[in-house]
Chains A and B, each alone.
Chain A
Amino acid sequence: MFEELTDDELILLAGTRAEAFGAFYRRHAEALLRFFARRTFDPDAAAELTAETFASAFVGRRRFAPRGGGAEAWLYGIARHHLARFFRKGAVEARARQRLGLPEQGLSDVDYDRIEELYDFDAVRRAVADAFSVLSEEQREAVTLRVVEGRSYAEVAEALVCSEQAARARVSRGLRRLSGLLEHRMSELDVEGNAK
């Protein structure tokens, strides 16, 4: 019966009906796991972030208001918040899971492989290549020397025949542009993956 309800209705019902939250989980769990997997490229972190995001969503279900993008956008807002904290701190928070008393669970080897499949490396590779091709020649060279080959800024500057400051600026601008392009492309891939 819950399968016919909208996300907003499920979250509103989750205040009194646990099954409604279960339906909401089943509807979004794999997509959310893919979302985290493609951004962290770390199956353990992606699994933990998924668990923490759903735990946070349940804890804060009474704060949900059906406006804006609806319950799905609300869920992904929580997800982005946890993702940002993960990138900032290098670890996944466990506050909501501890509050709900969710035990820690590890990934089996099979799950590990399946989550890696969610990356869809071909698509990611194509996205990265496409994004790289959009960069200017100077930025592409600078990013390749600094990020792919791991050279120092002095060496990058020497190779590009420019000042060290100019080399830093090119790497910085290239990465920022790459990040924007990939984020946009990753969202498209998420949508395509969910559609499948």
Chain B
Amino acid sequence: MKTEIEYLRELEEKLMEAVQRESRPVPRRARPSLWRRYRIQLLAAGTAAFLAVAGTVGYFVTRGSPAVRAAGIQPPSDQRSHLTLVPSVKGASDYAANGGPTPAPSASPAKAGPSASGGPVVGPNVIKTAQLSIRVAKGSFGEQFGKATEIAGTNGGYVQSSTIQNGKSDTGSLAIRVPADHFELALAGLRALGHVDRESISGEDVTARFVDLAARLHNAKDQVATLRRLLAKAPTVAATLRVNNALSNAQLEVEQLQGQLRVLANRADLGTIQLTLYERAPAPPPQPTANHRTIGGAWHRAVHGFFGVVYSVVVGMGYLVPISVLVAIAIVLVWLGVRRARNRVVA
């Protein structure tokens, strides 16, 4: 173009300068990586995802635990060493296989009694108690309740007390006393009545108390015999009265000790089984109504919920952290391998 307009010629020059400037290849700046650009966001998202997964894992792992049922703020239940919370039906199957109770070998505790040397001979004495919660099939409550009573009888025991509550679901409880040597058999029979929801067995060894009482009884009897001999030889009325008083006290002590031994022997001879039968899971304990639908109640639930979530997250992290470490190690190894292979190719 051969224009006569100076403006267009100048514009062409300036435009071409600018165009040259723009067209010059400019070293392209390396675009910052995704990690550099969104480091904080990625870290926050990763942490949030990890905690969410940990919480989910923790929830599923601890779903059935009492701690979670109580919104995670209760420590694991205060089980004593003798409590068995895991139901076992092994005994029940044994019982069923045997077709009922069978006489057990002589396992009854030895009674306190004089030995050949005159001292008391005492075998192991244990007071056994058990608590059973058994869920029976729908509609079979009456039948199973009767069977429980029957089991008490066939094992040489008896039903000390029983209560039945009829309602939407029948519930009943029995206090059964059975001889110590039939205690386990009776338990096995009772377990076969239904599904054992809860079972606890405890034993208290009272052998030392037996030995102590027997020894004291032996001494008291010796004292009575001695006092009787002295009474026969008393020279004066005053002496006779004094010896008679001492004899009365000694005889009273003998009777007291004999009574204590009888009670103890009875408890050791007969185990106690507290049996609860019901047709379905007992209703959860009623929540305190004072906080129901109130700000305080809401706050209480919120705090419980908060600690429940924290509990689940902490438990889940216990599972996830070791797994994450292993995964991280695997990723690093793979990355190193890939890098080495790439370097080899480049070389």
Contact = CB atoms under 8 A, between A and B. Distances in A.
Contacts of A55: 15, 18
Q: Looking at chain A's contact residues, is the secondary structure mostly helix, strand, loop, or mixed?
A: helix
A155 B16 CA distance: 55
B12 A111 contact: no
Given A100-B18, A102-B14, A18 B23 contact: yes
Contact of A50 (B4, B8, B19, B21): B8
A18 B16 contact: yes
Nearest to B4: A114
Contacts of A105: 7, 10-11, 14
A115 B14 contact: no
A49 B293 CA distance: 73
A95 interface: no
Contacts of B16: 18, 21-22, 25
B77 interface: no
How many residues of B sit at the interface, in one of the four size bands? 10 to 19
Contacts of B20: 18
A178 interface: no
Interface string A19-59: 00110011101100100000000000001001100110010
B19 A111 contact: no
Nearest to A27: B1
A49 B337 CA distance: 60
A129 to B, nearest CB: 28
Contacts of B21: 100-101
A69 interface: no
A16 B298 CA distance: 70
Contacts of B11: 29, 47, 50-51, 54, 105
B6 interface: yes
A111 B5 CA distance: 6
Interface in A105-135: 105, 107-108, 110-111, 114-115
B245 to A, nearest CB: 127
Interface string A77-113: 0000000000000000000000011110101101100
A30 B5 contact: yes
B283 to A, nearest CB: 74
A105 B7 CA distance: 8
B15 A54 contact: yes
Contacts of B10: 105
Contacts of B6: 108, 110-111
Contacts of B7: 47, 105, 107-108, 111, 115
B15 A102 contact: yes
Given A102-B14, A103-B14, A105-B10, A22 B19 contact: yes
A173 interface: no
A113 B158 CA distance: 131
B22 interface: yes
B3 interface: yes
A17 interface: yes
Given A51-B11, A102-B14, A105-B10, A30 B19 contact: no
A91 B175 CA distance: 103
A107 B249 CA distance: 141
A30 B3 contact: yes
Interface of B: 1, 3-8, 10-12, 14-16, 18-23
Which 10 residue pairs spanning A and B have beta carbons closest together? A26-B1, A100-B18, A18-B19, A18-B23, A111-B7, A29-B8, A18-B20, A30-B3, A22-B16, A114-B5
25 contacts: A14-B19, A16-B23, A18-B16, A18-B19, A18-B23, A22-B15, A22-B16, A22-B19, A25-B15, A26-B1, A29-B1, A29-B8, A33-B5, A47-B11, A50-B11, A54-B15, A58-B18, A100-B21, A100-B22, A101-B21, A105-B11, A108-B7, A111-B5, A111-B6, A115-B5
Given A21-B19, A25-B15, A105-B10, 16 more contacts: A14-B19, A16-B23, A18-B19, A18-B23, A21-B15, A22-B15, A22-B19, A27-B1, A29-B1, A29-B11, A33-B8, A51-B15, A58-B18, A102-B18, A105-B7, A105-B11
Interface of A: 14, 16-18, 21-22, 25-27, 29-30, 33, 47, 50-51, 54-55, 58, 100-103, 105, 107-108, 110-111, 114-115
